């Protein structure tokens, strides 16, 4: 195992200590390794232009924004192949939260998510992509009804 030494500000060290306590890490090395793995995974995914992924797209929008509901609906219909499920929550008189679970090629999912987040009237948006292998196969559920569908796997 290679040993690496890093320097950090007192404020960062305090923030790391709080993180370690909150997440039950026994030592700094374990915490920093996990944080580095997560950061590297996100960087690889951010740079990825091909391959399959699943994603959670969450955004808050003003449902009074002119034609926004129609634009969002049109976008989802145009990209129905990416959508797995959507949850809609009313936050207050003006704002709604939607969380869409998506599945498809990284580039297509990222492009769709960025387009939704960029819509006029969307006030906050974030997408979390997870790389997967998507396999298609035919098998039976129980004793009847064999059919073909996809299964994502990590």
Q: What is the pLDDT of residues 25-82, one digit of tens each?
A: 999 899 999 998 888 877 776 666 678 889 999 999 998 888 898 999 999 999 999 9
| Calpha distance 154→111 (Å, rounded) | 22
Same domain, 17 and 67: no
Q: Computed over its alpha carbons, how large is the radius of gyration of the chain? A: 20
- Please give the share of the chain, as a percent, with pLDDT higher than 90: 50
The span from the CA of 10 to the CA of 6, in Å, is 13
pLDDT at 85 over 90: yes
Per the structure, how many domains does the chain have? 2
In this structure, the answer to whether residues 130 and 94 fall within a common structural domain is yes
Q: Do the beta carbons of residue 59 and residue 116 sit within 8 Å?
A: yes
Q: Residue range 86-115: average pLDDT?
A: 94
Q: What is the domain-level CATH number for residue 88?
A: 3.30.70.1150
Q: Which domain holds residue 83?
A: 52-135
Q: Does the residue 1 lie in any domain?
A: no
Distance CA 108, CA 52 (A): 10
With 0.85 as the threshold, say if the pTM is over it: no
Mean pLDDT of the chain: 86
Q: 12-26, 85-99, 134-148: lowest mean pLDDT where?
A: 134-148
Q: For the chain, report the end-to-end CA distance as a whole number of angstroms.
A: 26
| Residues 111 and 68 occupy one common structural domain | yes
21 falls within a domain:
yes
Which of 75-79, 104-108, 125-129, 141-145 is the least confident region?
A: 141-145
Please give the sequence-ordered ranges of beta strands (E in DSSP) within 30-121, or none if there are none: 52-62, 83-90, 95-105
Tokens 């073909």 found at:
148
Domain match, 34 and 69 both: no
Q: For residues 29 and 99, state if they share a domain.
A: no
Residue 154, pLDDT > 60, answer no
């Amino acid at each position: 195992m290679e040993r690496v030494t890093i320097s950090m500000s007192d404020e960062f060290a305090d923030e790391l200590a709080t993180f370690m306590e909150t997440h039950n890490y026994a030592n700094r090395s374990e915490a920093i390794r996990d944080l580095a793995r997560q950061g590297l995974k996100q960087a690889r995914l951010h740079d990825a232009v091909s391959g399959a992924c699943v994603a959670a797209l969450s955004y808050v929008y003003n449902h009074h924004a002119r034609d926004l509901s129609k634009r969002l609906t049109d976008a989802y219909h145009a990209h129905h192949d990416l959508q797995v499920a959507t949850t809609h929550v009313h936050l207050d008189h003006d704002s709604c939260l939607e969380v869409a679970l998506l599945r498809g090629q990284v580039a297509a999912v990222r492009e769709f998510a960025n387009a939704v987040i960029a819509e006029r009237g969307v006030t906050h948006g974030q997408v979390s992509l997870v790389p997967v292998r998507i396999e298609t196969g035919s098998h039976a559920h129980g004793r009847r009804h064999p059919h073909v569908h996809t299964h994502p796997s990590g």
